[in-house]
Chain A
Amino acid sequence: MGELSRNAFLKLAGVAGTAGAVNNALGQPAPAEAAAKPPARELQAFTFLTPPEQRFVEAAIERLIPADSSGPGAREAGVAYYIDQQLRGAWGTGARQYRQGPWMAGTPEQGYQLNLIPQQVYRIGIAATNAHCRQAYGKTFDALSGAHQDDVLHGLESGKIALAEIPSKTFFSILLGNTIEGYFADPLYGGNRNMAGWRAVGFPGVAAAYAGVIEKYNVPYKVKPVSIADVEQGLDPDPGHAADEAHRQRIALMHARQQTEA
């Protein structure tokens, strides 16, 4: 399985685009060769969540995906930053949500019917959950014991805890969905830091081309995962990936098609 060098893949990926091809024609170094610079510093700053909201999210996600022997939990994997970035961006502000009224409660089969964008779901949901915790335990969610935090999360999930302005099930399912996304999405989105989620399950990441290995049955395919930034920046070459020859084929075909299509 080790016949393929990821180094070769990174180089090929670098020259696969039109820009790379032009560079090569001009005799300039391909991007992958030029890019042996140290990794960029991770961006770690909240831009939407307020400090109390940050504390809530960091506490909740660590209950949802805790650290264990398989690797870090959601907090250490940066999932709070992922959620913050999602909320600040297009998704959080209601992109790809149909936003016209009238609004009314529907059946479960009809799906989301709130006149709220995700930013508002978090703002209202966190405030209301903290209000519930203060009433029930005299403290905000982040200050509770793990067992009590789990009780609250179960209460939201089942709908047993009723929040004033938003169905608790809706808030919980969005929070859980985002936590799983952040744990497994490409690290460029702020979570899955150091590819912790991918390492935990053994997902090899984006340098994917498996024609040569897919018929090796019942043999674990073990490589260090590769992220989008790894490929773009040519960082950390780790021989052993099967992304290969395929990319040479791709470039050859691109030229062949350009000739037929012209």
Chain B
Amino acid sequence: MATKLKAVDAVTIGVGWTGGIIAAELTKAGYHVVGLERGEYRNTDPDFEVPQIHDELAYAVRHKFMQDPAQDTYTFRNDARETALPIRYLSGFLPGTGLGGAGVHWNGQTWRFLPWDFETRSATIKRYGEAKLNGATSQDWGITYAELEPYFDKFEYMAGIAGKAGNIKGSIHPGGNPFEGPRSREYPNPPMKTSYAGMLTKEAAKKLGYHPFPQPSANVTRPYTNPDGAKFGACVYCGYCERFACEMFAKSSPQLAVLPVAMKTGRYELRTFCNVTRINLDSTGKRAVSVTYVDAQGREFEQPAEMIFLTSFILNNVRTLLVSNIGTRYDPQTGEGVVGRNYTYQMNTGGTYFFNKKVFNTFMGSGAMGVAIDEFNGDNFDHTNHDFIGGAYILVSTTGARPIQYHPVPPGTPHWGAQWKKQVVRYYNRAIGINASGGVQAYRHNYLDLDPTYRDAYGLPLLRITFDWGPHELNQSQFMATILRKIGHAMNADIVAVSPRTGHYNSTIYQSTHNIGGAIMGTDPKTSAVNKYLQSWDVHNLFVLGASAFPQNSGYNPTGTLCALAYWNTEHVIKRYIKNPGPMA
């Protein structure tokens, strides 16, 4: 029997980026919030301490900060005709667990989606005609870039993002990204330093007529205090960033930017090692009354709340909706239903440039330092003669060359033995990587549902992922490969090795933790699970945050946009919903 606890104003299921933002905003406004986090408590001091935190094996290879598949994993298949099998070792994507979620071990590459991204469907039809969608079920978001701009701005100032504006209120600023949507002001912190690899990229891109700019970064570039008084240190380019936690208080995270603000109000209660198993509804099925969770001693609790925020990372969000029977399940046969609909991902096309006479010191770097071009992202270029929509941003980044995972060798090198070792030694410090981070369109047959066979440690069905690349992604990758080759040659690399992605999506190869969709936002309850305020169409006091809300994926990494949406959501909750609870759209 679950022990029933005292009701609070709001509860967040999970305490990562979105749960942390909700906590800060609601407690500042005077409300009491309980944060339920399945993993451990952890903070910069003393958990992210040098030298232990610089342990490549423990963090990057054995995934110390990530979800433990022995407790909870996913089943996967490329196609609904196959039997989905459990991902027994998570490796293709690495959801976080513990306080701060994946916001602790992320890189900090912090983008605003392009205006086009929010209107993918209608803008494509308008410019190219409906046939151009070629089977994609991609949708408009129901919100525009202009509506979201103030919340992008708010997140960037709260998180201390470092960058160079390319478009301030419509006027183009040299050195920034000329393709970005108009922003209201400059970034709060100056851009990161430029590595040698970045310098060469900049020169090559300019030579080709592109507009290179520094990647926007949550690796904070100088001591900074955010508008709520939270303090940050400056990044030292330690090169142990992605998959690690920052020892310097410099990589923006929930612990740095928002949780201390919530704590200070005295209205925030954090409970760790509490795994939420379901959301409970009242007899009408239109209002959530509580969440059920299990603590580390196996005790079951029921936490009643006026408002419930599902902030447990996209995949876990969708699973909780499904096990709690909230919203109509998506059916790929009919294309109807909403929970599980439009699951997408990120299409990365990579390359390596090898140089015989240059030395890059690539072990120096940070998660988000890099030089990017945006000429081929979104609809920034004419797709009339291309067989895909959307695109990719192209980036040369220097994120830290830890040698277990980074030891590039030219194509044709054996995988081991004397020749392999020779080439590893020769090129370890003489190569740079380039990546085209591409969008992914939604298709009717890519979706999320509950697995009929496999269960997690709590006895709940695993989430089943059915996903494969579609024509837009595979064609995009071929095209991006041609651009990556061009840049490599413009850089005078001795060997340019670029391979477009072909074949099936492979769940064993790490290609980002940018899982997207499944509880998407929109203007029609028939085709979206939440409205433009991230409010469940079915259960009005339930808000579902995170990348689960994106109807399809942009070329950019998701966190800047999902955090902006969290600020947009809380503002509407505080200003409108709490005063007059009920559907907001």
Contacts and interface: CB of A to CB of B under 8 A. Distances in A.
B504 interface: yes
Interface stretch (B152-160, B327-335, B423-431, B522-530): B423-431
B421 interface: yes
Contacts of B404: 180-181, 184-185
A219 interface: yes
Interface residues of A, number: 78
Interface string B323-349: 000000000000000000000000000
Interface string B218-250: 000001000001111111111110000001110
Contact of B89 (A97, A227, A244): A97
A70 B508 contact: no
Interface in B3-46: 44-46
B147 interface: no
B105 interface: no
B578 interface: no
Interface in B457-502: none
A210 B364 contact: yes
B280 interface: no
Contact of B237 (A97, A113, A210): A210
A95 interface: yes
B239 A111 contact: no
A228 interface: yes
A231 B50 contact: yes
Contacts of B87: 98, 110-111
Interface string B244-270: 000111000000000010011000000
A45 B230 CA distance: 49
Given A65-B421, A181-B57, A111 B62 contact: no
A228 B54 contact: yes
A98 B88 contact: yes
A230 B54 CA distance: 13
A56 B562 CA distance: 51
Contacts of A221: 361, 364
B70 A104 contact: no
A110 B403 contact: no
Contacts of A64: 416-417
Given A104-B83, A261-B260, A68 B421 contact: yes
A110 B89 contact: no
B364 A214 contact: yes
A111 B234 contact: no
Interface in A208-234: 208-211, 213-215, 217-221, 227-228, 230-232
Contacts of B45: 17-18, 254
Contacts of B505: 109
Contact of A201 (B91, B92, B359, B407): B407
A67 B170 CA distance: 60
Interface stretch (A33-41, A121-129, A130-138, A245-253): A245-253
B356 interface: no
A102 interface: yes
A173 B420 CA distance: 15
B506 A189 contact: no
B181 interface: no
Contacts of B231: 253, 256-257, 260
A52 interface: no
Interface size, B (range) = 35 or more
Contact of A250 (B51, B233, B361): B233
Given A100-B455, A110-B76, A249-B248, A228 B88 contact: no
A157 interface: yes
A100 B233 CA distance: 44
Contacts of B445: none
Contacts of A244: 236
B55 A228 contact: yes
Interface string B189-226: 00001111001000000000000000000000001000
Contacts of B453: 102
Contacts of A99: 70, 88
Nearest to A203: B403
A171 interface: no
A108 B508 CA distance: 8
Contact of A197 (B77, B365, B403): B403
Contacts of B248: 246, 249-250, 253
A217 B239 CA distance: 17
A224 to B, nearest CB: 14
B363 A113 contact: no
B196 A184 contact: no
B577 interface: no
A164 interface: no
Nearest to A19: B46
Contacts of A113: 85, 88
Given A68-B418, A104-B83, A250-B247, A232 B193 contact: no
B380 interface: no
Interface string B61-100: 1110000111001001110001101111111100000000
Contact of A150 (B69, B364, B417): B417
Contacts of B70: 94-99
Nearest to A112: B88
B50 A247 contact: yes
20 contacts: A17-B46, A64-B416, A66-B417, A109-B78, A111-B87, A184-B404, A185-B56, A201-B424, A206-B50, A206-B54, A208-B54, A208-B236, A214-B193, A215-B195, A218-B358, A219-B361, A231-B50, A232-B51, A253-B232, A261-B264
The 4 A-B pairs at the shortest CB distance, nearest first, are namely A210-B364, A206-B54, A201-B428, A209-B236
Interface of B: 44-46, 49-52, 54-57, 61-63, 68-70, 73, 76-78, 82-83, 85-92, 193-196, 199, 223, 229-240, 247-249, 260, 263-264, 358-361, 363-365, 401-404, 407, 415-418, 420-422, 424-425, 428-429, 453-455, 504-508
Given A96-B69, A214-B365, A217-B199, 7 more contacts: A16-B49, A208-B363, A210-B364, A219-B359, A228-B51, A231-B51, A254-B44
